[in-house]
A and B are shown apart, each in its own frame.
Chain A
Amino acid sequence: MNPILTALPILIPWIGALVIMGLHRTRVIHGVAVGTAILNGIGTLLLIPLSAEHAQLLIPAGQFWGTWRFSPDSLSALLSLIAAIIGALAVIFSVDYMHGTNSADLKRYYGLVLLFIGGMSGLVLTDHLLLLFFFWELVALCSFALIAYYPHNPAAAAGGVKALVITQIGGIGLLIGILAVGGTAGDFSFKALHSSALTPTLKAAVGFGFLIAAAAKSAQFPFHSWLPDAMEAPTPISALIHAATMVNAGVYLMLRFYPVFVDLPGWTDCLMLIGVVSVLMGGLIALLTDDLKRVLAGSTISQLGYLFSAVGAGAGAAAEFHLLNHAIFKGLLFLGAGAVIHALHTRDMGHMGGVRREMPLVFATFLIGSLALVGVPILNGFWSKELILEAAVSHAPGWITGALLLGVGITALYTYRMVRRVFWGRAQDRAPVHEAPLGMKIALITLAGGVVLSPLCLPDLGVVITEVLSAPVTLLALGIILLGAGIGWLRLPISLSKGMLQALDRGLGLTPLNRISVQLTNLSAEGLRGLHTGVLTLNLAAVVGALTLLMIILLVGGAL
């Protein structure tokens, strides 16, 4: 096959986005967006044969860039497919969700979504560090603009800027790493990381720089605080960007460069530690909030924590598998939540309840997704989570395994609480609602099918089944799930310890640290503004002061 086809997953959405910019009628815009997304899904399927034959797309791009190289392998094909297919489903879902939006806003929306899908594919397909950084920032930019999408919501603007700034801080880690590699090896291909020119210190800088970037992108501790705030985005966006694709970019980075950095002292431990803390933090966030989408956001942080721990424990294959499964079931959960939110016009679970009868299909698919999230057998989440736990048992210190198992219990607890509050109980002071429209249904059913069927993608399914079923940790995990759900069922007085939990959240979540640093910046900015008195005399005093200071420096420096 012609390697130029590798570029399809990037080009199709981008061209679609350009076309949409020129359209005016909302109906046509919806149509073109859906068409592009589906076409892109088909085009991306070509990556499977392409990656099998190790196709390489080489584009000479001048002295500064060197050669742009796109080379799909199984990992990048997987991630690109997730982006394309979940992207397509999110776009189909959006036709109903964004119904009634004016054409200018709709153009902005679909344009950014398609730009994002292409960027995400580019991010995983490229074999060029600078280009990787470019796509890395591009998806951050799309995410920022989409979080801040709703015009009249100041929280949306704040959340967007927060997400952008935190991922940018992480991006510096990537930037520094690339600088170090490019500066010493003089080459930006991934091979340059193996170059012998990289001294151990430099390599450590690169490894930990990448780690910081990955943690920020994947909303891992201590950078996790942007993800819950990002929930101001339209819900299909949360499903696509903040559950299924962009947040996986960090995991992708770790998976991709694991072989390079595995020997760095402390690197894998750090990875596992970040993962474990995120598992617990995310669970805590999910447990403490009443906002349906924030529950899911916390759950995403927590599940990505499992991925980080798995990569750290050396279980790359298990991580890849869980990444795929998580993308499917979390995408499903977000879209289901979106359907409920769209119908009820609220995100507060306190105002939900009893939706089960009115939206049976949404309920059924949401339940499937929830069970997969908890890790109930035979759904996809079960297999991959057990594989990760098993890897932790054999490769990680005991306390990490313990913490991961605790996380399983917390997952069961908050999932039980979420499902009960949204779907059971009585409908409280709200208007009756109707089942979701067709476009939403298509997306939900497809994803629910994926939740059941995705284990079939595994080439060595039989081995996995016997392995998982024979491991003692599986039984233990199932017991913990029951325990967690049981605590939820008994409605044990969590509210009593809520204060404690919140204190824990505050302490661990570094929210105070976060707030203090923001306040410090603001205060210093405010304080410095006081220095600009606008009085000529004081300005001149600053000049003379600078002269005096410089003379001192010259006297001292010149004498040395």
Chain B
Amino acid sequence: MNTPAVAFVGALVLVGIGLVGTLTCRNLIKVAVALQIMMKGVLIALVAAGAAQGQINLGQSLAAIVLGVDTIGAVILLALSVQVRRRFGTLDVSALSQLRR
């Protein structure tokens, strides 16, 4: 196995850990942390895919844009959690379940 392949597998593991985090964490901010971990995995995966094709700079530029998008997502999610804390008094996602059925 060459290095990009190793990196890609590692990236998938990171995405998997992120998924585990979104499923096991109850705190909204921790869910945001888990999403960040997923995105780290995605960045590595994109760059590794570019590297495998000898197009490392293509992979880099895609990853740079994804990094921007993902940062905006994180900011929005954090702003939302600030608001959630204000309205619901807690960050526990189980409190956010009034829209049910």
Contacts and interface: CB of A to CB of B under 8 A. Distances in A.
A–B contact via C-beta, under 8 angstroms: yes
B23 A540 contact: yes
Contacts of A536: 31, 93, 96-97
A45 B19 CA distance: 75
B101 interface: yes
B23 A534 contact: no
B98 A537 contact: no
A532 B101 contact: yes
Contacts of A540: 19, 22-23
A250 B100 CA distance: 44
A540 B99 CA distance: 15
B26 A544 contact: no
Contacts of A532: 100-101
B23 A544 contact: yes
B100 A533 contact: yes
B3 interface: no
Interface string A519-542: 000000000011011111100110
B2 interface: no
Interface in B45-98: 93-94, 96-98
Contact of A535 (B19, B22, B97): B97
Contacts of A541: 23
Nearest to A531: B101
Interface string B2-37: 000000000000000001001100100001000000
Contacts of A534: 96-101
A522 B31 CA distance: 36
* Size bracket of the A interface: 10 to 19
A293 to B, nearest CB: 39
A544 to B, nearest CB: 6
A4 to B, nearest CB: 56
Contact of B93 (A529, A530, A537, A544): A537
B23 A537 contact: yes
B16 to A, nearest CB: 10
Tell me whether chain A's interface is mostly helix, strand or loop, or mixed.
helix
A240 to B, nearest CB: 42
A529 B100 CA distance: 8
B23 A529 contact: no
A299 B16 CA distance: 68
A309 B98 CA distance: 57
A533 B93 CA distance: 12
Contacts of A537: 22-23, 26, 93-94
Contacts of B96: 534-536
Given A535-B94, A536-B31, A530 B23 contact: no
A9 B93 CA distance: 64
B76 to A, nearest CB: 15
Contacts of A530: 101
A536 B27 CA distance: 11
Contact of B19 (A529, A533, A544): A544
A297 B96 CA distance: 53
Contacts of A533: 97, 100
A534 B26 CA distance: 14
Max chain B CB contacts within 10 Å: which of A529, A533, A537, A544?
A: A537
B20 to A, nearest CB: 9
A332 to B, nearest CB: 51
Nearest to B28: A536
Interface in A533-560: 533-537, 540-541, 544
Contacts of B23: 537, 540-541, 544
A536 B98 CA distance: 11
A541 B100 CA distance: 16
A72 B22 CA distance: 69
Contacts of B31: 536
Interface string A295-313: 0000000000000000000
A279 to B, nearest CB: 46
A254 to B, nearest CB: 45
A529 B96 CA distance: 17
A536 to B, nearest CB: 4
A537 B26 CA distance: 8
Given A534-B99, A535-B96, 19 more contacts: A530-B101, A532-B100, A532-B101, A533-B100, A534-B96, A534-B97, A534-B101, A535-B93, A536-B96, A536-B97, A537-B22, A537-B26, A537-B93, A537-B94, A540-B19, A540-B23, A541-B23, A544-B19, A544-B23
8 contacts: A532-B101, A533-B97, A534-B96, A535-B96, A536-B97, A537-B26, A540-B23, A544-B19
Interface of B: 19, 22-23, 26, 31, 93-94, 96-101
Interface of A: 529-530, 532-537, 540-541, 544
The 10 closest A-B pairs by CB, nearest first: A534-B100, A534-B97, A529-B101, A536-B93, A535-B97, A534-B99, A540-B22, A532-B101, A544-B19, A541-B23
